[in-house]
Chain A
Amino acid sequence: MPVDIAERLRALPPGSAVALKLDPREYADHYFAVLNATLRDVGSETEVHTIYMTVTNPAAFVWSLAQALDVPSDRISFVDAISHIMMNYADPLPNATYIDSPRALEEIMLRIEYLIKKFPHPRTIVVVDSVNALAIHNPPELLSEFFHILLNSLKSRQVITLVLETNEEEATPVEQMLNLVVDETIDIARGGR
């Protein structure tokens, strides 16, 4: 089990981009372990602000898990690109910004930039949840371009980026591209190795 994710994340230099690989057979355990490490263990530290971009689950769902982990609301902001198309937008979170569609990839980049500028912190972490959910809505060429620009842009701003990825049996074109642009891959199934 992923015992050292938080330690690995703490050791990252500013501007790092990391792929966090989750095993689909143990998805729930791995997902919770990642949230625990990113939002509670690292995200709750002083001077850290986490921007959680979600396409997999609505921000309200992730926020309910974060609350169970006692994550303070002023340390986390959400970019939610799924609630609108799920028609699940009636009760927006005060710490979330909502995008009409997960296909509006540029808007995802711009909302992340907006939150970085609006909440300047010495250490900002952006979590992208997830490659697989984005791939449902976007063609691989567009998604590769998106990740290439987003990760380089965040790197230049000294922001740490964590990209959640569920292991497929065979690497997709986007996964192959992602492997080229991330600095490190943490395989949760292999105990964070």
Chain B
Amino acid sequence: MEEPTEPPAPAVVPGNGGLMGPATVLERCATGIEGVDNILSGGIPRGNMVLVAGSVGTGKTTLSLEFLVRGAERGERSLFISVTEASDKLMQNLSTFEFFRSDLVLNGSLVFVDLPVVYDRLGLEHEELLPDEIDILIRTIRDLVRSLGAKRLVLDSLTSVGYRIRRDERIRDFMLRLGQALSDEGCTALLVSEVSPTPGRYSLHGVEEAIVDGVILLWNTRRQGDILRVLQVVKMRGTAHSRAQYVMELTPIGILLAPHLKGGRGEGA
């Protein structure tokens, strides 16, 4: 096991966030999704590890993919680690969006890796990953990020990895060390968490949300029978952010957000 090292101090610039804004702000990794960047006062603080939590069909993977595509367009190499779905199929789905550019994949700006293939190559065959195997997995991800010079990473999904790590203390250790390794590389990461609608719980083990720097929650809500996709930033270290709810639409040109109307009620009308 490697000894954890102190991460480098993130870049800071003078703040201009108005009367309640901080004196300085951390360097941002703009998601490139206008609505999300507005919520986060410019983007995710660079090097943050963020949980994107939501149930089936709420847009977690699409949001994560757009984050990578927008990054690759800006010259930040982006890495998608897929656990549950083959990369070919993902790219096929992604190609239906106008914001996707296949040249980003061809020129290596956007890289897809299938984790099951990595498991096979590393010989990680146990149903439950042992501490040494978890260590190998973290080093492999770190080495991938380092060798590619990746500044953005998506792990889809953390839940699937969590099923093989199983124990709470091990998932906690995995996340602490992965977060530090990625932060050391200046890599901003989204970890996809598949959760059923349970108030206050955003992950499989329930410990993940305490370790990550941010939680973006997605869910479906109903208004008189009609289903709306809703996004809310529950937590984001290192930046002021809106805690309001937003309705999310997956359009061909990318994700768009609008305030969730309440009509004078406390919750979505």
Contact assessment for B264 and A113 in the assembled complex, using a CB-CB cutoff below 8 Å: no
Interface residues of B (CB under 8 A from A): 223-224, 226, 228, 247, 249, 251-253, 256-265, 269
A106-B259 in contact given A117-B253, A141-B264, A142-B269 (Cβ < 8 Å): yes
CB < 8 Å: which of B228, B251, B261 contacts A146?
Answer: B261
**Extra contacts besides A103-B226, A106-B259, A149-B258 (18): CB < 8 Å:** A103-B224, A104-B226, A104-B228, A106-B228, A106-B260, A107-B228, A110-B247, A110-B249, A110-B256, A110-B258, A113-B258, A114-B253, A118-B252, A118-B253, A139-B269, A141-B265, A145-B264, A149-B261
Contact assessment for B251 and A110 in the assembled complex, using a CB-CB cutoff below 8 Å: yes
Contact assessment for A139 and B263 in the assembled complex, using a CB-CB cutoff below 8 Å: yes
Residue of B nearest to A108 (CB): B258
Residues of chain A contacted by B223 (CB below 8 angstroms): 103-104
Residue of A nearest to B263 (CB): A142
Residues of chain A contacted by B263 (CB below 8 angstroms): 139, 141-143, 145
Contact assessment for A145 and B228 in the assembled complex, using a CB-CB cutoff below 8 Å: no
Residue of B nearest to A101 (CB): B226
Q: Closest approach, in angstroms, between the C-beta of A186 and any C-beta of chain B?
A: 27
Q: Closest approach, in angstroms, between the C-beta of A153 and any C-beta of chain B?
A: 8
Residue of A nearest to B260 (CB): A106
Most buried by A among B247, B256, B261, B264: B261
Residues of chain B contacted by A100 (CB below 8 angstroms): 226
Residue of A nearest to B98 (CB): A118
Q: How large is the interface on A (under 10, 10 to 19, 20 to 34, 35 or more residues)?
A: 20 to 34
CB < 8 Å: which of B228, B256, B269 contacts A113?
Answer: B256
Residues of chain A contacted by B252 (CB below 8 angstroms): 118
Residues of chain A contacted by B251 (CB below 8 angstroms): 110, 114
Residues of chain B contacted by A177 (CB below 8 angstroms): none
Give the complex CA separation of A145 and B253 in angstroms.
26
Residue of B nearest to A144 (CB): B263
Residues of chain B contacted by A110 (CB below 8 angstroms): 247, 249, 251, 256-258
Residues of chain B contacted by A143 (CB below 8 angstroms): 263
Q: Closest approach, in angstroms, between the C-beta of A80 and any C-beta of chain B?
A: 15
Contact assessment for A114 and B264 in the assembled complex, using a CB-CB cutoff below 8 Å: no
Residues of chain B contacted by A117 (CB below 8 angstroms): 253, 256
Give the complex CA separation of A113 and B24 in angstroms.
33
Pull 26 A–B residue pairs with CB atoms less than 8 Å apart, ordered by A.
A101-B226, A103-B224, A104-B223, A104-B226, A106-B228, A106-B259, A109-B258, A110-B247, A110-B256, A110-B257, A110-B258, A113-B256, A114-B251, A114-B253, A117-B253, A118-B253, A139-B269, A141-B265, A141-B269, A142-B269, A145-B261, A145-B262, A145-B264, A149-B258, A149-B259, A149-B261
Residue of A nearest to B259 (CB): A149
Residues of chain B contacted by A111 (CB below 8 angstroms): 249
Any chain B CB within 8 A of the CB of A178? no
Residues of chain B contacted by A101 (CB below 8 angstroms): 226
Contact assessment for A107 and B249 in the assembled complex, using a CB-CB cutoff below 8 Å: yes
Give the complex CA separation of A142 and B264 in angstroms.
7
Residues of chain A contacted by B228 (CB below 8 angstroms): 104, 106-107
Residues in A135-156 with C-beta less than 8 Å from chain B = 139, 141-143, 145-146, 149
Any chain B CB within 8 A of the CB of A105? yes
Contact assessment for A106 and B269 in the assembled complex, using a CB-CB cutoff below 8 Å: no
Residue of A nearest to B230 (CB): A106
Contact assessment for B256 and A114 in the assembled complex, using a CB-CB cutoff below 8 Å: yes
Q: Closest approach, in angstroms, between the C-beta of B140 and any C-beta of chain A?
A: 39
